Amino acid sequence: MTAALRFDPIRLPPECEKLRKEVRAFLADEIAAGTFDPHKPNREDTDAPEFSRRVGERGWLGMTWPKKYGGHERSFLERYVVTEEMRVANAPTRRFFVADRQSGPVLLKYAPEHIKMDILPRICRGEVCFAIGMSEPNSGSDLFAAKTKATRTDGGYLINGTKIWTSSAHIADYMIAIFRTSPPTKENRRHGLTQFLVKMKQPGIQVNPIGQITGQYEFNEVVFTDYFVPDDHVLGEIDGAWKQATSELAYERSGPERFLETYYVLTELVRAVGKNPDTRSAEGIGRLVAQLHTMRRMSVSVAGMLQAGKEPVVEASIVKDIGTVWEQQLPHRVRDLAAFVEENATNRETLENQLSFAIKTAPKLTIQGGTTEVLRGIIARGLGLR
């Protein structure tokens, strides 16, 4: 086969089911204690430091990392279960999620030992928040157009330029960012970018909030003026960030967070429809559940590939493409079906509020983390078309 796509039917092993029960019980306690309301996705949940620490205490951060860095040497499938339960419960995960999913693994691979020993255990304890500094005003999809400059100075680099759309930069302790250390070469326009660990809340960095159409403030403009980064904060090869970027994408792109962001409207629709749906509602719900189930099977399958040490870049891109298109359409399909819900459905107000928020959220879903168009380019490459 040209494509040779495989999605083996991985089943979650028994230890995952035990863990799932623990996570559910933990979340139920948090909800009971008033930490968050699972029916209100539209809160400002960027800052929930105590919740993060409690998640860390349970051993649910850095789950797959080595014990010597505070990790728990558990499987990707166990991490998968924790992620999906948190997501489905609408838990306030923003503060720790990026560090756990992406930044930690980058540090594990590329940071010097003393930095790993310093930061990784703190991530595992839920004490640090990370941001990702890739995009710039003229460099989004075309990452290699990034201009923010790192100029050599005594013992390190001086940074000048602007990052944009940086999620959580306003609460982050660190950012992993790419800066230009030399110009691109004729042969390779990807050359010349280097990955750095940046300490936030230091002189030389200004974080300016940018409002979103949902009414929330989650991403920012980050301006660097003669900001100093020491040599030991270089991550990986100088000028070689492009080689490092791709292998991490499989982690970022295939997880349950890539199809569950608007899931809550489906639960609320089922609640509003009640026990005896008409044919139209039943069919609509049935199709949505079948699609959801299929994506989850694909996503679990990719988690199985990661566990087996593979780098399923194409498969992960497919999951993100199908998953984000689905979660984007979901609120609109639910709206279609909700048009016929009884006026007096007990949760009608909750459903309407959720729909309004989910519909406002939807446009970003196929943009964040790489646009649909860019992903399809990656899939096309995997098919041997480019």
Partner 1 sequence: MAESENIVAETAEKIFADLADAQTINSDKKGSWKAPLWQALSDAGLPLAWVPEDCNGSGASLAEGFSVLSAAGRFAVAVPLAETMLAGWLLAQARIASPDGEMTVAPASPKDRITLNANGTLSGRARGVPFAKAAKHIAVLAGGSNGFSIALVEAGACRIEAGLGLGGDNSDTVTLANVRPVAIKPAPKGFDQTSLMLMGGVARSLQIAGALESMLEISVRYSNERVAFEKKISKFQAVQHNLAKLAGESAAALAAATSAADAVANSIAFDDAFFLEAAAAKIRCSEAAEKGGAIAHQVHGAIGFTIEHILHRYSLRALAWRDDFGSESYWAVELGKLVADRGADELWPLVASR
Ligand X SMILES: Cc1cc2nc3c(=O)[nH]c(=O)nc-3n(C[C@H](O)[C@H](O)[C@H](O)COP(=O)(O)OP(=O)(O)OC[C@H]3O[C@@H](n4cnc5c(N)ncnc54)[C@H](O)[C@@H]3O)c2cc1C
Question: Is 14 a binder of partner 1 (CB under 8 A)?
Answer: no
Question: Is 151 a binder of ligand X (CB under 6 A)?
Answer: no
Bridge-based pairing state of the strands 219-230 and 193-199: unpaired
Question: Is 7 a binder of partner 1 (CB under 8 A)?
Answer: yes
Residue 140 binds what, of partner 1, ligand X, none (CB under 5 to 8 Å, by partner type)? ligand X
CB of 335 to partner 1, least distance (A): 17
Of 99-107, 147-155, 170-178, 263-271, which part binds partner 1 (CB under 8 A)? 263-271
Question: Is 165 a binder of ligand X (CB under 6 A)?
Answer: yes
Question: Is 8 a binder of partner 1 (CB under 8 A)?
Answer: yes
Q: For residues 12 and 367, which CB has a smaller minimum distance to ligand X in the complex?
A: 367
Residue 45 and residue 36: Cα distance in Å, rounded? 9
Question: Is 274 a binder of partner 1 (CB under 8 A)?
Answer: yes
Q: For residues 241 and 378, which CB has a smaller minimum distance to partner 1 in the complex?
A: 378
CB of 346 to ligand X, least distance (A): 33
CB 23 within 8 A of CB 86: yes
Question: Is 167 a binder of ligand X (CB under 6 A)?
Answer: yes
CB of 377 to ligand X, least distance (A): 6
Question: Is 367 a binder of ligand X (CB under 6 A)?
Answer: yes
Question: Is 102 a binder of ligand X (CB under 6 A)?
Answer: no
Of 118-126, 160-168, 195-203, 321-329, which part binds ligand X (CB under 6 A)? 160-168
Residue 305 and residue 288: Cα distance in Å, rounded? 26
Exposed / middle / buried, residue 38 (Cβ in 10 Å: 0-12, 13-18, 19+): middle
DSSP string, 238-249: TTBHHHHHHHHH
The token pair at 207 is 């974080």
DSSP state of 93: -
Residue 298 and residue 194: Cα distance in Å, rounded? 33
Of 71-79, 126-134, 156-164, 295-303, which part binds partner 1 (CB under 8 A)? 295-303
Q: For residues 114 and 386, which CB has a smaller minimum distance to partner 1 in the complex?
A: 386
DSSP string, 202-241: STTEEEEEE--TTS---EEEEEEEEEEEEGGGEESSTTBH
Question: Is 184 a binder of ligand X (CB under 6 A)?
Answer: no
Question: Is 92 a binder of partner 1 (CB under 8 A)?
Answer: no
CB of 141 to ligand X, least distance (A): 3
